[in-house]
Structure 1
Amino acid sequence: MRSRDPGRDASLEALVPALIGRLPHLLDEVRRLLTADWPDYAQFLAEEQAEVEVAAEGFIRWLVEFAEEYLSEPHSDLIPAPTTPVTLFEEIGRAQWREGRDLSALLSAYQLGARVAWHEVSGTALETGVAPDALAALAEAVFAYVDQLSSASARGYVAEQSEAVAARERLRDDLVELLLSDRSDSAAVRAAATRAGWPLPREVAVVLVDPDNPVGQATLARLDASCLLIRRRQLTGAVLPDPARPGRRQRLVAEMRGTGAVIGHPVPPEQLPASVEIAEIALRLSRGGC
């Protein structure tokens, strides 16, 4: 371990109050630059200024801690944990997905904030006499911090996306079970379709494939998102909306050629259970070589 230079430590410590004194200017500059492309983020900075300033002070103190660690152990991979809880930035990533925003926009805003922060940190460091190697450590700290927060937001974004997809698939599976049940009523089906985000069509058709036919399974997986997959143990297929739409049945027949699939006739949703029974019989006969 390298011995610390007391003068260097003193200059880094002096950097903390100097940077805290510049926080209002730094945050104003970030807000100004965000306004054009990310007005919502700029508005957040304005509305939550007190909370943001507290987090920014924690960031400044973390910078100095990181720089001191870096100078004492320049080859260490250990990075001090950010003072701002990582879970907060994971939640920001989750919110980004829930609001239908692109992750890259959030990460770009982080990078912009990092550039402004580094401009202020480097200028203040030079004014307070921070040594060149300490300045390099501060640069490493700024971008390590942003990397950690970006990674946290990306994890939150992907986690929320995965959970949303899983929840959507569960709702679609519930809808399929309801459609295949002869005990359901139209009101229940409409409610389940709304929850699943599936526009209820006037007519549907069932497509059944041999569960042991890998080509049929692969073809089902390529159907568009408007189709509801049937994933029962002894029943594999899909519910196709609006099968009488011009050209749709012909395309489906072409896609299913060679898979041994059975395509039912178009029926109103409430008649689907009966249509499935007929399609199952046809599939069994087909598998038996009849």
Structure 2
Amino acid sequence: MRREIPSLRQEIRADVLTAYPEFAPVFTGPQASHIDVAIEQSLTAFVDQVARPSPPSPLRDEMFRALGRTAAEQGYSLNALRGTCRIGTRLALHRAKKVSRHCDLSPLFMLSFADTLFGYVNQLEGLAIEGYMEGSTTVEDDQDGLRRRLLQLIASGTTAHTSLGELAERTGWQLPEQVSLVALSPGARPARTALAPDVLVDLTDPQPALLLPGPLDAVRRASLEHALSGTLAAVGPTVPLATATDSARWARQCLALAESGIIRDGPVVHCENHLLTLLLATDPALLEQLARRELAPLDGQPATRRARLTETLRVWLATRGTAAQIGEVLHIHPQTVRYRMRNLDATFGPQLTDPDHCFATEAALRALHLRRTAAP
């Protein structure tokens, strides 16, 4: 079994994540390496015990108590913890059967092996439950920690599993039908007293956030403005609970655009007012590629001339106005506009009458204009 351990560890990891997606932050976060080590060491220790029976290692015992404590402190259910042990047992036994067929081992030996495996996993599960109970005692008084965990689960998209409902029940928080996620600038310290008691707050994350349950009405907006008191923040659109991760993602993108000066109506920015800007500005590399393709006919022009023609083209696509109207926007003479438009017509040809090209060109030019006019 020794050479099977690395691939078996990966298989257990993948199956646990499939069965319990709420464990994704643990398997991908700062603790990921510790989890991988714990799985691998538990498998190695079992194979060692089969080969050379010996008393259990105190280090192994404490490792599994620590895993149980962590599960409790982070708000995972005891059923989920037990379920991961069952998944590991099932996969390990399945792999052992494959090896036994390859090595032509007797059914009697495999029966003994399976009994030993079940006994070993029962030990590990007992240690993990012991740690879970210790952690639960600590967590009972840490309602803020449970509410933070609840916010993290919802923002990461883990809204379909029963653990979310269990955690909400433990915190006395009623699961809403709709939510709005609010992204805060690092170091933000909103006034808790100005927020309603049902607002979830996580200021420990590198990307601090709030969760507003229910409709984002005028009362919510006013209390949020008061609580943030000038802190830069972005409010994601109100979405169904199951798609809260979209609201969180858009809020963070909107906050980044506000920090870069592309969006300037803060300090509290509402994504609903900037959906087109979000669409145009959240993939700069792709927009550069689009602009390079659509503006290729201007490649041979000197930089100054290219800039003038590009700006004239942007205003014409945005307004489809007369030479006088475009000249008023650009602060130039209408005759100059007509001269530039003749140049553009000669340079782009049929591209300026093709709806798809016009739409792509306008999108690229709007995005470039947003970036150029961003506040410092």
Q: If the length of structure 1 is used for normalisation, what is the TM-score?
A: 0.41
Q: If the length of structure 2 is used for normalisation, what is the TM-score?
A: 0.32
